[in-house]
C-alpha cells in the first residue's frame, strides 16, 4: 500500500440553479441606481465594485442573477467535510470526471474560479449553469497542466490565517515558485551532499563529479571518526522538538567553535544518517563509484539489514550518458527504427527496456509524461501532486463507494511517487496462479532468480528502527502488547535520511524509483527515452505490428518502426491502449478483473509527541491477519498531507491539526475479492469498481482491530474512517462492532490497480498467455500491473518488475540469471493461503 496523497479539498458543488424564470431577490444597493440582487450584501458585488461603492458602469448597476458560489462544505455530523478532503464525496452523486474537474478547479484555486466567474460574465450567462461550470473545469485543468498558478499557490498559502503548521524548512519547501519555473532547489542540492548521494540521474549526468572530488572539498582526506553516540530514548529514537534541534545543531556548534551551524544541518530533523558530515569536520572520501554496486558477503549473500546499506547513497547507479529525447521539441514528423519499442517507463516498462538493451537490442522507450529530477521536487504535497500525478491525483472509481486511485505519469511511472515498500509475491498466491490460471512457469522457485536480480538492482533493504519514525514505533508498541506479528518494511533505497515525503518526490534521490535505476542502466546499454510522447496506435501488416505511432507534447508525431512491442502503460492505461488498436484480440477479458487493494487509515491521538513528519512514512507492517486479506502498513504523512486527509472541518479540523504532533496514522490494505473494470466511453475513461459485501466485512474487522491496537498502544482518542463514527474514546470498539457497515460509509483510496489484461496460460483464457504475449498477436507483449492475474495481498512493484524481467529474458531467449546473490533476509508476510479466489 502506498500512503499516497490524501484527496485534495473539493467543493460541495454548485448551488442548484434556480428554476427557469426564477430571480434572485432584489435589494437596493447603496451607490447603484437601481435594485441589485441579494448577492451584493455578501460582497459578491458583481455589478462592478464592493457594496457601497459606485458601480463601474456609469449607467448604473446591471440587473443580474448571481452565479451560485462554490461554497465550503458544511460538515455533517460525524463525517468529514469535503473542504477537508473527504474522498467519499468525490464521486458520490458526482460523475467521476466532474468530481475530478471540480477537484482541479480547487487545486488551481481562486484564480481559476475567478476565471470561471469572468467567463459567466463575459458570455452573459444568466446564472451559473453547467456550461459555465464545464468551461471552468476545462480551463482550470488546462491551467494545471501548464503549471498555473506559477507560484504553486505558495503566495496564497502565506495569506492563510491561523497557525502555519507546514514545514517550511524541509527540503527547500519555500521554493514553490522555483519548482514551477524549473529552477534548482538549493536545499535539495545540499541535502544530497549531506547524504553523500549524488543523484543518479541528474541532468548534469556523468559530468557531475562525485562529491568528494568537486572543487573545494577535502576529497583526499581520511574519513572522519564516527561521532560519539547521543543519548536516546528507550526505543532508540531521540525525543521531542528540542531533541531534534539538539541532534542537528549541537555537534555543529562544537565543531564550529560556537559559530552559527550550517543552515541545513540546523534545520534537518531526523536521525543523522551514517556518512553525514557534521559541519566543520573534514569531508570523508566517498567510495569509488560502483554504478549500483552491491556488497556481497563471503557466503554469497547480499546483506539487507545493515543501517549503513540503508543510509549509504554513494553506491547509486549513475548514467554514463543521458539518452532522452523530449517530445516537446518534436514538432513535425519523426521516424526512428529500433528492435523493440517499450510503451511506458514505470515498474514494468523500465526493467524490460533495460534487460532488452543489455541483451543487445536497440530499444526506444515511449513515455507520455515528462522526466523529473530532485531539482523539481519541493516537498509540498499540493504542488507535487499537480506535477507528478496523473490528473493531479484526482482519479476516482465510480461504484457503490468512490475510491481515489492515484497514478503516476512521468518517467518512472508510479514508482516515482510510491512509498518504496517491497514484498515478493507470496508463494501461496503463486501456487494459486499455477492451479487456477495454469501459470506453472511463475512458481516461487522459477521466479526466485528474477526476484533476486530485481532486489539487487533496486537495493531492497530493511528500514532500521531509528529511521522508522515514532509513528511506526507507537504502532509496534501496540502490536507487541497484543502479541501480533509485524516487522520493519524492506524498501528500495540508497541513502535514505527518513525525511518522510516519499510519495511527493524523494528530495535526496534515496528512493530507488526505476527512473534512477533501470532507466539509466537502459541508457548505458544504448536505449533512448522519448518523454512527452503518448503512444496512440500500432500499425500492423500481415498480422505483425510494424510500428508504433505517438503524439508528441510539441504537437508532432513520432513513428517508431520496430520488430517487437512491449506495452507497459499500467493497469489503467494498457487496456485502453490495446482496446483502441485494430488487433484481433482473442479474449473478452480486456479491461475486466480489475483489483485495486482498497485501503483506508485509522488515526489516533496520543499524549506523547509523535510528529509523523519525521522518519520513513511507510516503515512498519503488521501481518497478523494477512491470511484474512488484511495488511496494516505505515501511512504517516507531513502536516499538509494530514490536513487534506483528516475527516474534519472548520474549528474541529483546526483543533486536530494544532495537535498534529500528537497524531498517529496507520493504513489498512485489503486483498480484495471485488473486481472492477476499465472502459472508455467517448472521451471519458470510466473505472468501475463496487466493493462487495465480503470486502466490506473485511474492512470492518480490520478497522476494529486497528482501533484495538491503538488502545493497546495508549491512545487518548481514535478516529476510525467510518461515516457516523467520528471518534472513539475510553477503549471503545463496540460502536464499530455493533455497526452495520455500508460500503458508502467508508473513506477509501487505492494504489495498486492490477489484472485488466491478466495472464492465463490456458488456451482461450486471459488477455496474455503465460509468456505475457497478447493473444491473437504475434509480436505484442504486456509487462505491467495489468498482467498480474489476482490480488496479491502485498504491494506489487517487485512482482511487476520481476515479471517484466522474466519477460525480457524470455524475449532474448536467455536462461534465468543464476548468479544473483541471495538476500540475507527478506520480508515473508504470514500469508499461508491465497485469498481473492473469486477472481
Ligand atoms: C501513491 C502510490 C504509492 C505506492 N506505493 C507503493 C509501494 O510502496 N510499494 C509497491 O510495491 N507499490 C506501490 N505503489 C504501486 C506501484 O507503484 C505500481 O503498482 C507500479 O508502479 C505499477 O507499475 P506499472 O508499470 O503497471 O504502471 P506505472 O508505474 O504507472 O507506469 C505506467 C507508465 O506508462 C505511461 N503511459 C501510460 N499510457 C501511455 C501511453 N499511451 N504512451 C506512453 N506512455 C504511457 C504512464 O505515464 C506511466 O509512466 C504505489 C502507487 C502509488 C500511486
Ligand atoms: S524517507 Fe522517503 S523521501 Fe525521505 S529520504 Fe527516505 S526515501 Fe527519500
Q: Pocket of ligand 1, candidates 344, 423, 490: which has the most ligand atoms within 8 Å of its Cβ, to mutate?
A: 344
**Nearest ligand to the C-alpha of residue 495?**
2
31 vs 765, higher pLDDT: 765
Question: Is the model more confident about 180 or about 817?
Answer: 817
Here the cell at position 394 is: 484526482
> What confidence score (pLDDT) does residue 764 get?
83
pLDDT given for residue 831 in this prediction: 85
* Cα torsion 408, 413, 417, 423: sign: positive
In sequence order, what E strands does 528-653 have? 528-531, 533-541, 544-552, 557-561, 564-567, 598-605, 620-622, 630-634
575 neighbors 733 (Cβ within 8 angstroms): no
Is residue 607 over pLDDT 80?
A: yes
Backbone angles phi, psi at 668, to 5 degrees: -120, 130
The minimum-distance atom of ligand 2 relative to the CA of 419 is: 2
**Please, is 53 exposed, middle or buried when counting C-beta atoms within 10 Å of its C-beta (0-12, 13-18, 19+)?**
middle
Q: Please give the pLDDT value at position 132.
A: 64
- Do residues 44 and 680 touch, judged by C-beta distance below 8 A? no
Distance CA 611, CA 269 (A): 11
**Burial class of residue 566 in the structure, from the number of CB atoms within 10 Å of its CB (0-12 exposed, 13-18 middle, 19+ buried):** buried
Q: What are the grid coordinates assigned to 709, written together?
A: 491496537
pLDDT of residue 140: 65
The three-state secondary structure class of 135 is helix
Structure confidence at residue 631 as a pLDDT band (50, 70, 90):
very high
Number of the ligand closest to the Cα of 269: 2
| pLDDT given for residue 131 in this prediction | 66
Ligand 1 centre to CA of 125 (Å) is: 42
- Minimum CA distance residue for ligand 1 atom 1: 4
What pLDDT, in 10s, does the model give residues 345-381? Answer: 999 999 999 999 999 999 999 999 999 999 999 888 8
Q: pLDDT grade, residue 284 (50/70/90)? A: very low
The predicted-structure confidence for 386-443, as pLDDT tens digits, reads as follows: 999 999 999 999 999 999 999 999 999 999 999 999 999 999 999 999 999 999 999 9
Read off the pLDDT band of 837 (50, 70, 90).
Answer: low
Ligand 2 close to Cβ of residue 417 (< 6 A):
no
**Considering only CA atoms, which of 390, 397, 399, 401 is closest in space to residue 367?**
390
At 217 the pLDDT is: 30
Smallest Cα–Cα separation from 394: which of 2, 7, 4?
A: 7
Q: Is 279 in the pocket of ligand 2 (CB under 6 A)?
A: no
Among the atoms of ligand 1, which is closest to the Cα of residue 406? Answer: 53
How far, in Å, CA of 778 to CA of 131, rounded?
47
Please tell me whether residue 805 adopts helix, strand or coil conformation. helix
Which residue's CA is the nearest one to ligand 1's atom 47?
Answer: 409
Return the percentage of the chain with pLDDT > 70, whole number: 64
Distance in Å, CA 504 to ligand 2 centroid: 10
Choosing from 2, 387, 792 the residue with most ligand 1 atoms within 8 A of its CB, the one to mutate for a pocket test is 2
Over 80: is that where the pLDDT of 72 sits? no
Region 255-263: mean pLDDT is: 34
Ligand nearest the Cα atom of residue 364: 1
Name the residue with higher pLDDT: 1 or 26.
1
Pocket test for ligand 1, best of 751, 792, 803, 805 (most atoms within 8 A of CB): 751
**Cross-strand pairs, 341:** 364, 565
Residue labelled with grid coordinates 499500467? 570
Measured in Å, residue 420 CA sits from the centre of ligand 2 at: 9
State the average pLDDT over residues 476-505. 95
Task: Identify the residue whose cell numbers are 492475474.
Answer: 789
Q: Cell triple for residue 571? A: 493497469
Q: What spacing in Å lies between the alpha carbon of 733 and ligand 1's midpoint?
A: 36
Q: Compute, in angstroms, the gap from residue 498 CA to the centroid of ligand 2.
A: 5
Residue 624 CB contacts under 8 Å (≥ 6 apart), including other chains? 479, 484, 485, 486, 830
When pLDDT is cut at 50, 70 and 90, the band that residue 707 belongs to is: very high
Model pLDDT for residues 669-703, shown as the tens digit of each residue: 999 999 999 999 888 999 999 999 999 999 999 99
pLDDT score, position 583? 83
- Residue 315: which pLDDT band, with cuts at 50, 70 and 90? confident
Name the average pLDDT for the chain: 76
Distance CA 749, CA 644 (A): 13
pLDDT at 2: 55
Homologous superfamily of the 324-372+512-592+756-812 domain (CATH):
FAD/NAD(P)-binding domain (3.50.50.60)
Instruction: Sort strands 748-750 and 598-605 into parallel, antiparallel or unpaired.
Output: antiparallel
What pLDDT is recorded for position 147?
A: 53
pLDDT of residue 789: 96
Q: How far apart are CA 693 and CA 131, in angstroms?
A: 39
pLDDT at 265 over 90: no
* Helix, strand or coil, per DSSP, at residue 796: coil
CA atoms within 13 A on the CB side of 82: 19
Pocket lining: 495 vs ligand 2, CB cutoff 6 Å: no
Q: Whose CA is nearest to atom 4 of ligand 2?
A: 499
> Which pLDDT score, from 0 to 100, does residue 122 have?
66
Residue 233 Cα to ligand 2 midpoint, Å, equals 23
pLDDT of residue 644: 80
**Cβ-Cβ contacts under 8 Å for 459 (sequence gap 6 or more):** 292, 294, 309, 315, 492, 493, 494, 512
Q: Is the pLDDT of residue 161 over 70?
A: no
Task: Give residue 470 CA to ligand 2 midpoint distance, Å.
Answer: 15
Separation between Cα atoms, residue 373 and residue 390, nearest integer Å: 17
Distance 497 CA to ligand 2 centre (A): 6
Residue 462's pLDDT band (cuts 50, 70, 90): very high
**Grid coordinates belonging to 43:** 460582497
pLDDT at 268: 32
Report the pLDDT value the prediction gives residue 201, as an integer from 0 to 100. 43
The whole-number pLDDT of residue 298 equals 64
- Cα 678-679-682 angle, rounded to 5 deg: 150
pLDDT at 114 over 70: no
Expressed in angstroms, the distance from the first to the final Cα of the chain is 20
Ligand 2 atom closest to Cα of 615?
1
**CA-nearest residue, atom 5 of ligand 2:** 496
Evaluate whether 324-372+512-592+756-812 and 385-409+460-506+594-750 have a shared fold.
Answer: no
Asked if residue 63 has pLDDT above 50, the reply is no
The more confident residue out of 746 and 144 is 746
Ligand 2, atom 6, lies closest to the CA of 496
Residues counted in the chain = 839
For residue 160, pLDDT over 80 is answered with: no
Segment 147-175 shows an average pLDDT of 41
Nearest ligand to the C-alpha atom of residue 347: 1
On whether the CB atoms of residues 753 and 785 are closer than 8 A, the answer is yes
**Predicted confidence (pLDDT) per residue in 677-686, tens digit:** 999 988 899 9
CA atoms within 13 A on the CB side of 255: 18
Question: C-alpha distances in angstroms, 797 versus 153, 270, 348, 353, 689?
Answer: 32, 27, 8, 16, 22
User: Does residue 27 have a pLDDT over 60?
Assistant: no
d(CA 126, CA 139): 20
Residue 30 grid cell: 447603496
752 given a catalytic annotation: yes
Please name the residue whose Cα sits nearest to atom 48 of ligand 1. 413
Q: How far apart are CA 647 and CA 652, in angstroms?
A: 10
With the most atoms of ligand 2 within 8 angstroms of its CB, the residue from 170, 195, 310, 420 to mutate is 420
Residues 6+ apart with CB under 8 A from 146: none
* Rounded Cα–Cα distance for residues 678 and 594 (Å): 8
Q: What is the mean pLDDT of residues 664-672?
A: 96
DSSP category for residue 405: -
User: Is residue 163 over pLDDT 50?
Assistant: no
Alpha-carbon radius of gyration of the chain: 27
3-state SS assignment for residue 473: helix
pLDDT for 532-562, tens place per residue?
999 999 999 887 999 999 999 999 999 999 9
Q: What is the dihedral of CA 382, 413, 592, 454, to 10 degrees?
A: -130
Distance 463 CA to ligand 2 centre (A): 11
Q: How far apart are CA 506 and CA 495, in angstroms?
A: 11
719 backbone dihedrals φ, ψ, rounded to 5°: -115, 100
At 121, which helix (H) or strand (E)?
A: helix 110-122
613 lines ligand 2 (CB under 6 A): no
Q: Which of 492, 797, 798, 808 to mutate to test the pocket of ligand 1 (most atoms within 8 A of CB)?
A: 797
CA of 500 relative to ligand 2 center, distance in Å = 5
Confidence class for position 180, pLDDT limits 50, 70, 90: very low
- Whether 502 lines ligand 2, by a CB cut-off of 6 Å, is yes
Nearest to 92 by CA among 396, 405, 406: 396
| pLDDT at res. 661 | 95
Instruction: Compute CA distances 325 → 365, 366, 527, 569, whole Å.
Output: 10, 10, 11, 19
Letter string b/e over residues 154-183, b meaning 16 or more CB atoms within 10 A of that residue's CB: beebeeeeeeebbbebbbbbbbbbbbbeee
Contact status, residue 749 vs residue 738, Cβ threshold 8 Å? no
Pocket of ligand 1 (CB under 6 A): 2, 4, 343-349, 366-369, 406-410, 413-415, 417-421, 503, 534-535, 568-571, 573, 577, 618, 751-752, 784-785, 795-797, 800
The 10 Å CB-count burial string (b at 16+, else e) for 609-627 is ebbbbbbbbbbbbbbbbbb
Name the band, by pLDDT with cuts 50, 70 and 90, for residue 146: low
Map residue 24 onto helix, strand or coil.
Answer: coil
Distance of CA 465 to the CA centre of its chain: 24
CB of 500 closer than 6 angstroms to any ligand 2 atom: yes
Number of the ligand 1 atom closest to the C-alpha atom of 804: 25
Nearest CA to ligand 2 atom 1: 498
Ligand number, closest to the Cα atom of 366: 1
For the chain, the domains span 324-372+512-592+756-812, 385-409+460-506+594-750
Atom of ligand 1 nearest to the CA of 410: 49
How far does the centroid of ligand 2 lie from the alpha carbon of residue 647, in Å?
26
Q: How confident is the model at residue 129 (pLDDT cuts 50, 70, 90)?
A: low
What is d(CA 87, CA 552) in angstroms, rounded to the nearest whole number? Answer: 33
Give the position, in ligand 1's atom list, of the atom nearest the Cα of 533: 43
> Which of these ranges, 157-171, 212-226, 777-791, has the smallest mean pLDDT?
212-226
pLDDT tens string 589-602: 999 999 999 999 99
Candidate list 3, 653, 752, 835, residue with the active-site label? 752
- For residue 512, the CA-to-ligand 1 centroid distance in Å is 14
pLDDT of residue 55: 40
- Give the closest ligand to the alpha carbon of residue 195: 2
Domain 385-409+460-506+594-750, architecture per CATH: 2-Layer Sandwich (3.30)
Indicate which atom in ligand 2 lies nearest the CA of residue 493.
7
Which atom belonging to ligand 2 lies closest to the Cα atom of 491? 7
646 vs 823, higher pLDDT: 823
Tell me what pLDDT residue 682 has: 82
Q: Which ligand is nearest to the CA of 188?
A: 2
C-alpha torsion sign, points 363, 364, 368, 369 = positive
Amino acid at each position: 500500500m502506498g500512503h499516497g496523497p490524501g484527496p485534495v479539498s473539493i467543493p460541495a458543488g454548485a448551488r442548484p440553479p434556480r428554476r427557469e424564470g426564477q430571480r434572485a431577490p432584489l435589494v437596493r444597493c447603496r451607490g447603484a441606481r437601481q435594485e441589485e440582487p441579494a448577492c451584493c450584501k455578501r460582497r459578491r458585488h458583481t455589478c462592478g465594485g464592493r457594496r457601497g461603492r459606485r458601480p463601474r458602469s456609469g449607467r448604473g448597476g446591471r440587473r443580474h442573477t448571481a452565479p451560485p458560489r462554490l461554497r465550503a462544505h458544511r460538515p455533517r455530523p460525524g463525517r468529514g467535510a469535503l473542504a477537508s478532503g473527504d474522498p467519499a464525496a468525490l464521486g458520490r452523486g458526482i460523475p467521476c470526471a466532474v468530481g475530478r474537474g471540480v477537484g482541479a478547479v480547487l487545486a488551481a484555486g481562486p484564480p481559476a474560479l475567478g476565471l470561471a466567474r469572468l467567463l459567466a460574465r463575459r458570455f452573459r450567462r444568466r446564472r451559473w449553469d453547467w456550461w459555465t461550470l464545464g468551461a471552468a473545469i476545462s480551463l482550470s485543468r488546462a491551467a494545471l497542466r501548464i503549471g498555473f498558478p506559477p507560484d504553486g499557490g505558495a503566495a496564497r498559502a502565506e495569506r492563510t490565517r491561523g497557525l502555519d503548521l507546514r514545514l517550511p524548512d524541509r527540503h527547500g519547501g519555500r521554493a514553490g515558485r522555483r519548482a514551477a519555473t524549473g529552477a534548482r532547489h538549493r536545499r535539495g542540492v545540499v541535502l544530497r551532499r549531506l547524504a553523500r548521494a549524488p543523484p543518479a540521474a541528474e541532468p548534469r549526468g556523468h559530468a557531475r563529479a562525485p562529491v568528494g572530488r568537486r572543487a573545494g572539498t577535502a576529497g583526499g582526506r581520511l574519513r572522519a571518526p564516527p561521532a560519539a553516540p547521543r543519548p536516546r530514548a528507550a526505543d532508540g529514537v531521540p525525543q521531542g522538538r528540542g531533541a531534534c534541534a539538539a541532534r542537528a545543531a549541537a555537534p555543529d556548534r562544537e565543531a564550529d567553535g560556537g559559530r552559527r551551524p550550517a543552515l541545513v544541518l540546523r534545520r534537518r530533523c531526523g536521525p543523522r544518517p551514517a556518512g553525514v558530515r557534521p559541519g566543520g569536520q573534514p569531508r570523508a572520501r566517498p567510495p569509488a563509484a560502483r554504478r549500483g554496486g552491491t556488497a556481497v558477503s563471503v557466503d554469497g549473500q547480499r546483506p539487507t539489514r545493515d543501517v549503513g546499506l540503508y543510509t549509504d547513497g554513494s553506491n547509486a547507479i549513475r548514467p554514463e550518458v543521458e539518452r532522452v529525447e523530449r517530445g516537446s521539441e518534436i514538432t513535425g514528423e519523426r521516424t526512428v527504427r529500433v528492435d523493440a519499442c517499450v510503451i511506458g517507463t514505470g515498474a514494468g516498462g523500465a526493467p524490460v527496456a533495460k534487460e532488452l538493451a543489455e541483451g543487445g537490442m536497440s530499444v526506444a522507450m515511449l513515455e507520455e509524461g515528462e522526466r523529473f529530477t530532485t531539482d523539481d521536487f519541493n516537498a509540498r504535497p499540493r504542488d507535487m501532486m499537480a506535477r507528478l500525478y496523473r490528473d493531479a491525483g484526482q482519479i476516482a472509481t465510480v461504484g457503490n463507494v468512490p475510491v481515489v486511485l492515484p497514478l503516476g505519469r512521468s518517467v518512472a511511472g508510479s514508482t516515482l511517487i510510491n512509498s518504496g515498500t517491497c514484498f515478493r509475491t507470496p508463494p501461496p498466491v503463486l501456487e494459486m496462479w499455477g492451479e487456477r490460471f495454469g501459470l506453472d512457469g511463475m512458481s516461487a522457485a522459477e521466479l526466485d532468480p528474477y526476484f533476486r536480480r530485481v532486489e539487487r538492482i533496486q537495493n531492497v533493504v530493511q528500514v532500521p528502527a531509528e529511521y522508522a519514525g515514532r509513528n511506526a514505533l507507537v504502532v509496534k508498541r501496540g502490536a507487541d502488547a497484543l502479541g501480533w506479528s509485524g516487522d520493519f518494511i524492506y524498501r528500495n533505497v540508497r541513502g535514505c535520511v527518513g525525511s518522510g515525503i516519499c510519495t511527493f518526490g524523494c528530495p535526496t534521490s534515496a528512493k530507488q524509483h526505476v527512473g534512477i535505476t533501470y532507466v539509466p542502466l537502459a541508457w548505458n546499454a544504448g536505449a533512448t527515452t522519448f518523454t512527452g510522447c503518448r503512444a496512440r496506435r500500432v500499425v500492423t501488416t500481415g498480422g505483425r505490428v510494424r510500428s508504433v505511432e505517438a503524439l508528441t507534447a510539441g504537437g508532432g508525431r513520432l513513428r517508431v518502426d520496430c520488430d517487437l512491442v512491449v506495452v507497459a502503460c499500467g493497469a489503467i492505461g494498457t487496456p485502453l491502449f490495446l482496446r483502441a488498436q485494430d488487433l484481433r484480440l482473442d479474449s473478452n477479458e480486456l479491461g475486466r478483473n480489475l483489483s485495486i487493494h482498497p485501503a483506508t487509515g485509522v488515526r489516533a491521538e496520543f499524549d506523547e509527541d509523535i510528529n509523523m513528519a519525521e522518519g520513513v512514512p511507510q516503515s512498519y507492517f503488521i501481518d497478523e491477519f494477512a491470511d484474512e486479506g488484511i495488511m496494516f502498513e505505515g501511512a504517516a504523512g507531513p502536516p499538509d498531507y494530514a490536513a487534506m486527509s483528516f475527516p474534519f472541518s472548520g474549528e474541529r479540523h483546526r483543533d486536530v491539526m494544532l495537535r498534529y504532533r500528537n497524531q498517529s496514522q496507520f493504513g489498512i490494505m485489503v486483498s480484495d475479492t471485488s473486481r472492477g473494470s476499465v472502459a472508455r466511453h467517448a472521451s471519458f475513461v470510466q473505472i468501475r469498481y463496487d466493493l462487495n459485501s465480503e470486502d466490506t466485512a473485511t474492512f470492518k474487522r480490520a478497522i476494529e482491530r486497528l482501533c484495538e491496537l491503538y488502545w493497546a498502544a495508549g491512545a487518548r482518542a481514535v478516529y476510525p474512517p467510518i461515516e457516523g463514527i467520528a471518534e472513539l474514546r475510553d477503549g471503545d470498539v463496540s460502536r464499530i462492532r455493533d455497526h452495520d457497515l455500508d460500503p458508502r460509509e467508508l473513506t477509501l483510496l487505492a494504489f495498486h490497480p492490477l489484472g485488466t489484461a491478466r495472464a492465463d496460460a490456458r488456451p482461450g483464457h486471459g488477455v496474455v498467455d503465460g509468456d505475457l504475449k497478447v493473444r491473437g498477436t504475434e509480436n505484442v507483449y504486456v509487462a505491467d500491473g495489468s498482467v498480474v492475474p489476482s490480488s496479491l495481498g502485498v504491494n506489487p512493484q517487485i512482482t511487476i518488475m520481476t515479471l517484466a524481467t522474466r519477460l525480457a529474458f524470455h524475449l532474448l531467449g536467455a536462461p534465468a540469471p543464476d548468479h544473483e546473490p541471495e538476500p540475507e533476509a527478506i520480508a515473508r508476510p504470514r500469508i499461508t493461503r491465497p485469498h481473492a479466489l473469486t477472481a
